[in-house]
C-alpha cells in the first residue's frame, strides 16, 4: 500500500466512526451532542454505555501545536459531560512530529491512555455463507435479543450490565437497520456482531464473545454472518471496522487489512 493509499484509508476510518456514531448516539438520545467542530467531531450520547460517548480529532497532518490545542479542547468537552467516554485518536492522521509526542501532549491536557485499537478495511464482500458447528445464528429483532446483545458486550468489555443496557435497550435502530446477529450455543447467546450501512460501506460494530467461550472461533463466525447478510441485503462490497487489541488478529482472516492505529483516552481521575 502506498503512503497516499494508507492515508486515505486512515481518513476513511475516522470518517466512518463519525458517520456511524452519529446514528448510534442519536438513536440513544435525539438531543445527543452531535457536532462537527473545527478539527473535532463530537458524538456523545452522555449515557452509561461509554462507547457511545465519543470525541475524535479530524485534522489531517496536524502539527504539534495544533494537536495540543485540539487535545485541550477535546478534554474540555469531555469534562463538561455527565458520563465518561473516550477520545478516539487516529495516529496516522497526525503529522510525524506530533505523532511522536502525542502521548505526552494528551497527558498534559488531562487525558489518560486507556487502550489501543486498529482501524481496518477491505473490499472483501460478498463472502460465502458462514457456519460454525457449535452455533446457530439469530438476527436481533426483539427486546430480548437486544438485551442479550448488550449483556454480551458488557461482559466482554468489562462493563456493568446496566451500562450496556443503557446503551442499547429500546433501540429501533438495532432491531431494524443494523444487521445484528447473535451466535447461540445450545440456545444460549455466546457471541454477537453487527454490520450497518455507512456511506457505501458496511461498518462492523460491537463484536463480542462471552469470556467463558472465547478462542473457539465464535466471534469470527458471527462477524462473517453479519457481513454476509448485510452484503446480501445491500449489495455493498467494502467493509470497515475498528478492532480492539484482542480482536485484531481475527479480522485479517476474513479479509480486512489494518490501517491506522487508534489510541483511546479517558479523562484522568
Q: What is the pLDDT of residue 230?
A: 98
Tell me the torsion sign for CA atoms 199, 175, 184, 159. positive
Q: Which pLDDT score is estimated for 247? A: 87
The pLDDT of residue 2 is 66
Instruction: Encode pLDDT of 222-266 as tens digits.
Output: 999 999 999 999 999 999 999 998 889 999 999 999 999 999 999
**Which domains does the chain possess?**
3-118+262-267 (no CATH), 136-237 (3.40.630.30)
Contact partners, residue 89, CB within 8 Å, separation at least 6: 56, 57, 102, 106, 262, 263, 264, 265
- 14: nearest Cα among 122, 75, 89: 89
pLDDT in tens, 128-166: 999 999 999 999 999 999 999 999 999 999 999 999 999
Rounded average pLDDT over 54-70: 97
Task: Report the pLDDT value the prediction gives residue 7, as an integer from 0 to 100.
Answer: 81
Instruction: Read off the pLDDT band of 43 (50, 70, 90).
Output: very high
pLDDT tens digit sequence for 7-20: 889 999 999 999 99
| pLDDT value, residue 233 | 98
Rounded Cα–Cα distance for residues 45 and 26 (Å): 7
pLDDT beyond 70 at 1: no
Tell me the pLDDT band of 6, cut-offs 50, 70 and 90.
confident
Banded pLDDT at 4 (limits 50, 70, 90): confident
String of DSSP letters for 1-67 = --HHHHHHHHHHHHHHHHHHHHHHHHHH-TT-EEEEETTEEEEE--SS-GGGEEEEE--SSB-HHHH
Q: Label residue 69 by pLDDT band (50, 70, 90).
A: very high
Kindly report, residue by residue over 75-133, the tens digit of the pLDDT.
Answer: 999 999 999 999 999 999 999 899 999 999 999 999 999 999 999 999 999 999 999 99
Is 90 exceeded by the pLDDT of residue 42? yes
Amino acid at each position: 500500500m502506498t503512503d497516499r493509499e494508507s492515508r486515505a484509508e486512515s481518513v476513511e476510518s475516522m470518517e466512518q466512526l463519525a458517520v456511524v456514531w452519529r446514528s448510534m448516539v442519536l438513536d440513544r438520545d435525539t438531543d445527543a451532542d452531535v457536532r462537527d467542530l473545527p478539527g473535532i467531531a463530537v458524538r456523545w450520547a452522555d449515557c452509561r454505555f461509554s462507547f457511545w460517548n465519543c470525541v475524535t480529532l479530524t485534522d489531517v497532518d496536524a502539527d504539534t501545536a495544533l494537536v495540543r490545542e485540539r487535545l485541550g479542547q477535546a478534554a474540555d468537552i469531555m469534562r463538561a459531560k455527565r458520563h465518561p467516554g473516550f477520545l478516539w485518536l487516529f495516529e496516522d492522521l497526525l503529522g510525524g512530529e506530533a505523532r511522536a509526542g502525542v502521548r505526552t501532549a494528551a497527558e498534559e491536557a488531562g487525558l489518560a491512555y486507556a487502550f489501543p485499537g486498529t482501524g481496518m478495511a477491505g473490499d472483501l464482500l460478498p463472502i460465502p455463507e458462514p457456519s460454525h458447528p457449535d452455533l446457530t445464528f439469530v438476527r436481533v429483532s426483539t427486546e430480548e435479543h437486544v438485551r442479550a446483545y448488550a449483556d454480551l458486550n458488557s461482559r466482554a468489555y468489562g462493563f456493568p450490565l446496566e451500562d450496556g443496557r443503557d446503551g442499547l435497550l429500546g433501540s429501533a435502530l438495532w432491531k431494524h437497520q443494523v444487521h445484528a446477529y447473535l451466535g447461540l450455543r445450545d440456545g444460549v447467546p455466546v457471541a454477537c456482531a453487527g454490520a450497518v450501512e455507512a456511506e457505501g460501506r458496511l461498518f462492523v460494530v460491537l463484536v463480542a464473545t462471552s469470556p467463558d467461550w472465547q478462542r473457539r472461533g465464535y466471534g469470527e463466525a458471527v462477524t462473517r454472518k453479519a457481513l454476509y447478510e448485510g452484503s446480501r441485503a445491500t449489495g455493498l462490497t467494502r467493509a470497515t471496522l475498528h478492532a480492539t487489541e484482542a480482536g485484531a488478529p481475527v479480522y485479517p482472516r476474513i479479509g480486512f487489512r489494518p490501517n491506522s492505529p487508534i489510541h483511546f483516552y479517558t479523562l484522568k481521575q
